[in-house]
Chain A
């Protein structure tokens, strides 16, 4: 369900952005971190429903799901998503639909530990970003 609130935020933000510049938006590239576990099909469905009668009416949403690289600031170990997948899986099982990283992926260090030293002091790029906007 959070995909709808994210799509709504995206449409409202970009509609205002386009209005200020007097342009129409043709394409939006949204980059989301994989631990957010966002459903891309629901996100695009929500975007297509919400963009009507806005400056995004003819726009296509492309969602890039990126796997973050992680670095432990305590021991310096660098690791990929595959090394935290098991922890993410357990977290999803524990919270079910209320999985907190779905809403705020930046909360990941609260729940995930460095696979080598066990520290929560983990660095990664976890924000939801607009990478590209094509206008006409």
Chain B
């Protein structure tokens, strides 16, 4: 018996687990996950991008370590969100892990995270379809939120992820079409096309599409994402309300 796997399952059994995923890297999963957690008071954000660890960076928590008490890992907190990340275990250094190491890290983080009353639990997934995806599937019945950009390069990867999820009996709850347009004096310019492929994919699985703009001001909020009130946050908040 693996007690950590069992306790991780038990801790997540009665909570909604929203997994922000894509398969593709660089589409803005971590920003969407952070804004999704901020949109719902009482959320926790679990960063399962073990090698990327963007969540602490977005919230200005880099280098801070989790305290570990008698009941588990104490969260790092910012903007009312409880953040759990491997970055809070290893500090500011690289992580390189074979699959069994990723599995152990996912199970331990979810088993020991002191979630308290947090609900939902938003999970920031890594790019790719590797061990973290399998490990999350072992632990929790999650609600997938897919993030894509209008680029066809993004679509191909997201399509494979959606096909895998469908085989597992999971339907994406929403598709965020990120970096979709630029707002120029009230009119929208779509520099990468309208993302028709991604829209058709969303339609085929019955998931609503939420189009988020390119907002250059977001860059100013890396390190204080909890203070960002711009248009991307509005889109993500509406997405969360519809889950």
Residues on A facing B (Cβ under 8 Å): 1-2, 4-5, 8-10, 12-14, 16-17, 30, 46, 73, 95, 98, 100, 103-110, 120-123, 126-130, 133
Contacts and interface: CB of A to CB of B under 8 A. Distances in A.
Given A5-B69, A110-B94, A127 B101 contact: no
Contact of A130 (B2, B65, B73, B98): B2
Contacts of B189: none
Contacts of B65: 98
A46 B94 CA distance: 33
B95 A110 contact: yes
A107 B70 contact: no
Contact of A105 (B3, B96, B104): B104
A16 to B, nearest CB: 7
B10 A123 contact: no
Contacts of B4: 9, 127-128
Nearest to B114: A5
B112 A127 contact: no
Considering the complex of A and B, which 3 residue pairs feature the smallest CB-CB distances, nearest first? A106-B104, A4-B70, A130-B1
B240 interface: no
A4 B86 CA distance: 20
B98 to A, nearest CB: 6
B66 to A, nearest CB: 8
Nearest to B90: A100
A9 B103 contact: no
A129 B101 contact: no
5 contacts: A1-B69, A110-B101, A123-B98, A123-B100, A126-B101
Nearest to B1: A130
A106 B105 contact: yes
A9 B10 CA distance: 10
A107 B90 contact: yes
Given A104-B89, A109-B97, A9 B104 contact: no
Q: Which of A10, A95, A104, A127 has the most chain B CB within a 10 Å cutoff?
A: A104
Q: Which of B3, B68, B94, B98 has the most chain A CB within a 10 Å cutoff?
A: B3
B72 interface: yes
Given A1-B68, A106-B101, A130 B96 contact: no
Contacts of B100: 106, 123, 126-127
A98 B64 CA distance: 11
A84 to B, nearest CB: 15
B9 to A, nearest CB: 9
B112 A107 contact: no
Given A1-B70, A133-B1, A108 B101 contact: yes
Given A103-B89, A130-B3, A8 B108 contact: no
Interface string B1-17: 11110110010000000
Contacts of B89: 98, 100, 103-104, 107
Interface in B1-56: 1-4, 6-7, 10
Contacts of B95: 107, 110
Contacts of B101: 106-110, 126
